[in-house]
A and B are shown apart, each in its own frame.
Chain A
Amino acid sequence: MSEIALYTKDLSVYYGEKQAVKRVSMAFPSRQVIALIGPSGCGKSTFLRSLNRMNDLIAGARIEGEIWIGNDNICDPQTDVVQLRQKIGMVWQRPNPFHKSIYENIAFGPRYHGVRKRAELDEIVETTLRKTALWDEVKDRLHQSALSLSGGQQQRLCIARSLAVKPSILLMDEPASALDPISTSKIEELIAELKKEYTIIIVTHNMHQAARISDKTGFFLLGDLIEYDDTQKIFTNPSKKSTDDYISGRFG
């Protein structure tokens, strides 16, 4: 059993009166890929977004319960959200590079966090771009706009950008659903590679993707965590009927 990177205890998320996530307790082991699956509106994205308190931005959203990363409770009002978010990277469904150069997209975070020397920044840019297999494609145009890249490249740049501030956990909200099959497989290869260093929690609508890349899978339905187990087990021999129905395509 590996160590636990992050766990939640009775986590509930409300949007106004509506309870979107219902008392979910889940532990995420270090350096594994955990997939969250379930039909649209089941609360998996909301759950993911509460892990770095991104839901704070939405008016009327409220969290109850606990989220622990190491010895810090993320939900504690005393927690410095800004610092917390540095430890937890995030990647969105649609690539959202900053409207800056490729170089600046990556250097922006580390520079804010105190890396001032040009040589160090150069180094960070190169290593993160190498990690995301983007270096060879963009090394000659680092100072061009990130928006000039293709969608798949932009998404890998966004992953590189989040790696640049040295997080230990990566949250991915359907990172490949807006991409073509080739870009998707590149992202999947990348996830398999990044697993060696990072804990990756990924929301996906693509059942095959979940089966291919994840070690553990959690199935959400109407805000409840129905089943959470090894991916192998979930996809071959789920213990709940609704899980079986969902993965075999009988609803959702």
Chain B
Amino acid sequence: MKAKTVDRIATGVIVAIAVLILAVLAGLLGYLLVRGLRHISFDFLTSPPQTIKAGGGIGPQLFNSLFLLVLTMIITIPLGLGAGIYMSEYAKENRFTAFVRLIVEVLSSFPSIVIGLFGLLVIVNRFGLGFSLLSGALALTVFNLPMMVRITEQSLRSVPREQKEAGLALGISRWRTITQVMLPVALPSIVTGTILAAGRVFGEAAALLFTAGMSSPRLDFTDWNPLSPTSPLNPLRPAETLAVHIWKINSEGLAPDAPEIAAGASAVLVITVLLFNLGARWFGRLLYRKLTASK
């Protein structure tokens, strides 16, 4: 076959694949939004769910999802950055680090239900944290951390070596060179990776069933004392997230409008992820601009 023909066929195949992927994505999103959007109202977003009656909302679940995300990220980001910096800049290339890398890989492809069980046995029972936001955040950290470490490591490795050398050649210490010269350069890809890791927190249900729990206490949104048991900010209270809620009402919901609530909640979840992505990207760009003085 002539090279030109091959080129045309290859281009055609690639375009077809791209269109297929787009179509699947658009179909999925469209289906979710069309089915869900009409159930979304201010009331739906803010009121607590109903067990038997119709007209329940998803207020606490939405809040729980966001709060769990924040908690998880507070734990994951410093640990992930620290370990990533160590792996890329300090660790020597030897059997031990190769082993650590292998473990990180394995951990990142762990089935989330297994992590949920691990969380139940170790975090919830052994450490006595109970079904709580904190237990959930720790379980999610277990499977977000590997991703965060790898992202940080790879982002730092892709910073041109001359950048690092330029810092060191000025007589600047290794730590300062890493944090003030290399990290700003690596920031955009670290932010992208963090968003991916965070997206998994929103969507995760299996790992949370046994850790954050499947119920939410009556929350008093006027009580912002983190130590009070009805305060939304209390990290030691059980918390059903949006994804868990969708799973629950679909499998055992008693309310007559359960399918509608599930559809509405799914749409809300998708929109939240979308907004979060856009927001995080905007914030990342802002940070990058501030650090690098670029436009």
Contacts of A164 in B (CB 8 A): 170
**Cross-chain contact of B171 among A94, A144, A165 (Cβ < 8 A):** A165
Contact check, B165 vs A90: say whether CB atoms are below 8 A apart.
Answer: yes
With contact pairs A99-B184, A104-B293, A145-B292 given, residues A82 and B165 touching in the complex (Cβ less than 8 Å): no
- Docked Cα-Cα span, A86 to B176, in Å, equals 14
- Docked Cα-Cα span, A67 to B161, in Å, equals 25
With contact pairs A100-B291, A109-B171, A113-B171 given, residues A92 and B185 touching in the complex (Cβ less than 8 Å): no
User: Would you give 24 A-B contacts (Cβ < 8 Å), ordered by A?
Assistant: A54-B168, A57-B168, A85-B168, A88-B169, A89-B170, A96-B163, A96-B166, A98-B163, A98-B166, A99-B163, A99-B185, A99-B292, A99-B294, A100-B292, A101-B293, A108-B181, A112-B171, A143-B293, A145-B292, A146-B293, A147-B292, A148-B295, A162-B169, A164-B170
Report A18-39 residues with CB < 8 Å from chain B CB.
none
Contacts of B161 in A (CB 8 A): 57
Q: Which residue of B lies closest to A93 (CB)?
A: B162
Q: Which residue of B lies closest to A90 (CB)?
A: B169
Contacts of A54 in B (CB 8 A): 165, 168-169
**Cross-chain contact of A59 among B93, B163, B180 (Cβ < 8 A):** B93
Q: Which residue of A lies closest to B187 (CB)?
A: A99
With contact pairs A57-B165, A96-B160 given, residues A162 and B170 touching in the complex (Cβ less than 8 Å): yes
Nearest CB of A to B88, in Å:
13
Give me the 9 closest cross-chain CB pairs, A-B, nearest first: A86-B171, A101-B293, A96-B162, A90-B169, A109-B170, A145-B294, A99-B292, A85-B171, A145-B293
Contact check, B169 vs A100: say whether CB atoms are below 8 A apart.
Answer: no
Nearest CB of B to A182, in Å:
23
Nearest CB of A to B77, in Å:
21
Contact check, B171 vs A84: say whether CB atoms are below 8 A apart.
Answer: yes
Q: B282-295, CB under 8 A of A: which get 1 and which 0?
A: 00000000011111
Chain B interface residue count, Cβ-Cβ cutoff 8 angstroms: 26
Contacts of B163 in A (CB 8 A): 96, 98-99
With contact pairs A59-B93, A112-B176 given, residues A52 and B169 touching in the complex (Cβ less than 8 Å): yes
Nearest CB of A to B96, in Å:
15
Contacts of B295 in A (CB 8 A): 145, 148
Tell me, yes or no, whether B278 is within 8 Å of chain A by CB.
no
- Docked Cα-Cα span, A103 to B294, in Å, equals 13
Tell me, yes or no, whether A156 is within 8 Å of chain B by CB.
no
Report B171-205 residues with CB < 8 Å from chain A CB.
171-173, 176, 180-181, 184-185
Tell me, yes or no, whether A158 is within 8 Å of chain B by CB.
yes
Tell me, yes or no, whether A161 is within 8 Å of chain B by CB.
yes
